[in-house]
Amino acid sequence: MAQTTFKAMVVTEDSPDRFSRRIAEKSIHDLPPGDLLIKVLYSSLNYKDALSATGNRGVTKSYPHTPGIDAAGVVIEGGGDDFKIGDPVLVTGYDLGMNTSGGFGQLIRVPVGWAVRKPDPLTLRESMIYGTAGFTAGLSVAKIVEHGILPSHGDILVTGASGGVGSLAVSVLSRIGYSVVASTGKTGEKEFLTQCGAKAIIHRDEINDKSKRPLLKSRFAGVVDTVGGDFLATALKSIALHGAATCCGNVASPELHTTVFPFILRGVTLYGIDSANSPMEYRRKIWKKLAADWKPDHLDRLANEISPAELDRHIDLILQGKLRGRTIVRIQNP
């Protein structure tokens, strides 16, 4: 291994609670111990990365730090019996980019148990169009399917539909035959969401009930929620008998004010989604589906590709809820 330095985004705490970020040269000795050294070719931008890049201690405890919860690349050192040099792999979740130097750098070093062999026929680039957002969408869709909700049972609501998790949930659900109602706050994204496969598009105000009624008209067979707060509370009141909702995000609010009535009068189930700690066997199963049967034809069109230098601006944009679909980062050429 001749390479001793590499380029990475470094977030620094300049003074208490004041953070800055820049692309800097790091030493390979700055990387944590691990079994697997990976040359990162692609990463992607997730909401959590923006939190890490702006000093959110709930995500990253100590700085200086390199964010990036997603990385796709090739093994250049280590791997034991599981991987050989040159194998294409992806790492999403676990502690990558949180308190472990992440995918916004040209090299990562991680435990071998964090890496998934790239499933064929997906390319490394496509794996990052999915990234954590797509994997989370996949986990959410799997819960809807495993719950026994069939396309014939009715519409599935997806909230935060123009975002990363949302647009991929809309795309995968419609790919496998569900009728999807996409909720968005962006009036200009109708065409994009229609291209993703949404059957209907509603403004998010429509699912922000202020009436305090314990239940609303049954409207959805299932819900993939990515925003939390009153939107999830309203969705729960609108789910038909024995339906289910998944909950993965908190961009609207981490609070959930609900009553027990959706659960005890309609038998509604609320599933929590935690992509970071998903067990490896299940993780591989979901990636395999995303690589084949669940792969939307238009996957490439969901992605905006940027360079590491453009990350800074896009971190601000994702925090403002202004990004559409997925933002992937070409970290370096092979």
% helix, strand, coil for the chain, step of 5: 30, 30, 40
| Residue from 101, 136, 171, 246 binding ligand NAP (CB under 6 A) | 136
Min CB(202)–ligand NAP separation in Å: 10
User: Measured between alpha carbons, how far apart are the two ends of the chain, in Å?
Assistant: 16
Distance separating alpha carbons of residues 241 and 147, to the nearest angstrom: 13
For the bound state, the minimum distance from the C-beta of residue 91 to ligand NAP, rounded and expressed in Å, comes to 14
Binding residues for ligand NAP restricted to 231-250, rule: CB under 6 A: 231, 248-250
Q: Is the distance from CB of 63 to CB of 12 less than 8 angstroms?
A: yes
Strands (E) across the chain are located at 5-15, 18-27, 36-45, 70-78, 88-92, 107-110, 116-117, 156-158, 180-184, 200-203, 220-225, 239-247, 269-272, 303-306, 326-330
Rank residues 107 and 311 by Cβ distance to ligand NAP and give the closer one. 311
Look at the chain and count its residues.
334
Q: Which residues from 270-309 bind ligand NAP, rule CB under 6 A?
A: 273-276
Question: Residues 77, 112: contact at Cβ < 8 Å?
Answer: no
Span interacting with ligand NAP, options 53-61, 76-84, 255-263, 268-276, rule CB under 6 A: 268-276
Describe the crossing of helices 164-175 and 124-146 by its angle, rounded to 10 degrees: 70
In whole angstroms, how close is the CB of 250 to ligand NAP at the nearest point? 5
User: Which of 21, 26, 39, 48 is in the footprint of ligand NAP by CB under 6 A?
Assistant: 48
Among 173, 252, 268, 303, binds ligand NAP (CB under 6 A): 252
Crossing angle between the packed helical segments 124-146 and 280-291, to the nearest 10 degrees: 110
The count of C-alpha atoms lying within 13 angstroms of the C-alpha of 225, restricted to the half-sphere facing its C-beta, is 33
Looking at the DSSP bridge assignments, the partners of residue 305 are 328
Tell me if 170 contacts ligand NAP by CB under 6 A: no
134 binds ligand NAP (CB under 6 A): no
∠ Cα 253 259 265 (to 5°):
130
Closer residue to ligand NAP in complex, CB, 242/301: 301
Q: Is 53 in the site for ligand NAP (CB under 6 A)?
A: no
**Shortest Å distance, C-beta 105 to ligand NAP:** 20
43 binds ligand NAP per the rule CB under 6 A = no
Binding mask 142-161 for ligand NAP (x = CB under 6 A): ------------------xx
Q: Examine residue 226 and tell whether it contacts ligand NAP (CB under 6 A).
A: yes
Q: Does the protein bind ligand NAP through residue 256 (CB under 6 A)?
A: no
Name the site residues for ligand NAP (rule: CB under 6 A): 46-48, 132-133, 136, 160-166, 184-186, 204, 226-227, 231, 248-252, 273-276, 318, 321, 323
